Each structure stands twice: as structure tokens, then as C-alpha cells.
Amino acid sequence: MNNSQKNPSVVVVGGGTGMPVLLRGLKDLPIDLTALVTVADDGGSTGRLRNEMAIPAPGDIRNVIAALSDAEPMLLELFQHRFNVGNGLSGHSMGNLLLAAMTSVTGNFFTGIQEISRVLNVKGEIYPISNDSMSLYAKMEDGTVVSGESNIPLANKKIERVFLSPQPVRPLPNAVEAIEKADLVIVAPGSLYTSILPNLIIPQIDVALGNTKANVVYVCNVMTQAGETTGYTAADHVQAIRDHIGSGCVDSIVVHNEPIRKQVREVYAEENADPVIYDTERLLDMGLKIIESDIIDPQRTTLRHDTQKIANLLYSMLDNNT
């Protein structure tokens, strides 16, 4: 097949709740889709399995598998089922247990993901950003260090930087190669310091983002997050990424440009979260291309990007690349 017939290669990097929303819309488009997923989570079922089995965190991977799967709805419901009876299974999700079991059977976390992806008819490739179990730490501006992805926002202090341990953290080679060969790299919305940056700061991933010929686009969060990005503007989000991995890694930013409904703002205000201000002048001064659009789902009281709107917007960026 010659290049003119080949589907463009799109890589999405992230974790948390924002990534599956993007992937659900992108999976039906004529692209070769790859998801690079964080494995630094340490809360709930994921944290218990990590500690007991010394495997990378399965939770974000599980949600990405569900988002990209074309399996029967009942099978997906089973995969996402969370036990809530008061025994040893309480709090565990079936998908996390399956990923842990398949890692045990195959002897390798990544191979386990591939096998479950095959069974659940996943469209695209899913790569853990690393095959290693790792922990996330944050150094706060007051000099204190907080360990654990789930504990960092609870400290409610201004974060100076995040880092991973134990070192050296080794990236999955497939993940590095995917970024290097991509036509478009999308940094998904999500918790900036605990879902996004744990991927970007892995050695070789940062270098690949700087070297790729692809347009690297950051889909900016719509709301700030207490304990992580309180008071952050859009440019502050990008600056945090630059402070960690250098200034040549993000080319474009996607921002939502419509007002947030009052009743939605009030719900978020209770969590000390506010709409992210898009400081256009500063973004332009940073050399970023700004893509503005109405990209949230208007039906929801919890703000989420609209799956189809954001997918179509990102897909249109491929035309602009050529």
C-alpha cells in the first residue's frame, strides 16, 4: 500500500477520565489509533493489585480497553463491573482482576493487555507507557514531598514538579516508536500532575515528543482541579508541561470557547474548581497555535468533552497538517 492510501497515525497520551472520552469518538474514524496510558495510579482496586502483585497500575488501562472495545455490551458491563460485597473482592473491578490474571498467565503486563484487547475486540493499539511498576511523587513549592498519585491532590499545596520512582523508569519501546512515527499526537485532558505528566516525564518519551514531526496538540482542561491546578490559566497548564519536559514539545492547544452554565459552575465551585481562563495573548506569545471551539457535552452537569465534537475537531487537524 502506498502512503497516499495509508490511514494517518494518531497517538493519544493520557489517563484518568478525559482520555476514554476522546478515544470513544476517535475509534470510528479512518485512522490508525494508538493509546499510550499512564500506569502510575495507586488508588482503590488498582493500588491493591499493584502492591500485592507488583504490576503496573491496571485501572486507566481498563477504562481505555472499554472505550476502544467493540465487544457485546454485556461483556463490557462484566469487564467494568466493580464488586461491592463485604469480602476480599470488595472494591475490585472485574477488568482489573482480569488484567492482573492475564499478566500472571503471560508473565508480562503488556502481553496481558494485548491478549485481553484481542478477546474484547479492541480497535487500535493500547500501550502502557511503561511495563514497570512505578510510583509518582510531587515536590511542593514549600519543599515537602508527597508520595502516591492519590495523595498528591489531597495535600492541597502548590506543586513545583512531579517525578517517578524507582529510577530508571523504562518506557515501553512501542510507545516511543508510536510517537516518533505519528502524524498527530494528542495529549488528552485530565489531571495535569497525576494523569498527564506521569506519561510525559518518562525518559525517551519526552525526547520523542520533542523530535516527532507530528503536530503535538494539548486538549486543555475545561475546569481547574483543586489540589492540582487551582487558579491555573490555559497557559499555566502548558507552562507546567514545559517546565517538566522542555518548550519544544507542545505545538497546539485546543480550548473550549463558550461560557459554562451557571448551575454547572456552582456544582464545581463546591469542589473549589473554576472554569479555566484562556489567556490568548500569553498562549500566542508561547508560540502555540490555538484551536477554539464549543467542545463540551451540554447535556451533562459534570463537564466532559463532547465525544463526537472533539474527535471531529482533532481529525480535521490532520488535514491542516498535510
Give 107's DSSP letter.
S
Distance between CA atoms of 92 and 62, rounded to whole angstroms? Answer: 12
Ordered by where they begin, the domains of the chain are 3-38+129-321 (3.40.50.10680), 43-126 (no CATH)
Q: Are 15 and 23 in contact (CB under 8 A)?
A: no
pLDDT for 2: 46
Q: How far apart are the first and last CA of the chain?
A: 19
pLDDT for 48: 75
Per-residue pLDDT of the chain (322 residues; tens, 9 = 90+): 445 578 999 999 998 888 999 999 999 999 999 999 998 876 666 667 766 777 788 888 999 999 999 988 888 888 888 888 767 777 788 888 899 899 999 989 999 999 999 999 999 999 999 988 888 999 999 999 999 888 999 999 999 999 998 888 899 999 999 999 999 999 999 999 999 999 999 999 999 999 999 999 999 999 999 999 999 999 999 999 999 999 889 999 999 888 888 888 888 888 888 889 999 999 999 999 999 988 887 766 677 788 899 999 999 999 765 4
Cell numbers at residue 112, please? 496481558
pLDDT for 322: 43
User: Closest Cα to residue 94, out of 73, 105, 79?
Assistant: 79
User: Closest Cα to residue 99, out of 87, 81, 117?
Assistant: 117
Distance between CA atoms of 142 and 122, rounded to whole angstroms? Answer: 44
Q: Are 34 and 178 in contact (CB under 8 A)?
A: yes
**What is the model's pTM?**
0.92
Strand (E) positions, 85-183? 125-128, 135-140, 145-147, 159-165
- In sequence order, what are the beta bridge partners of 82? 93
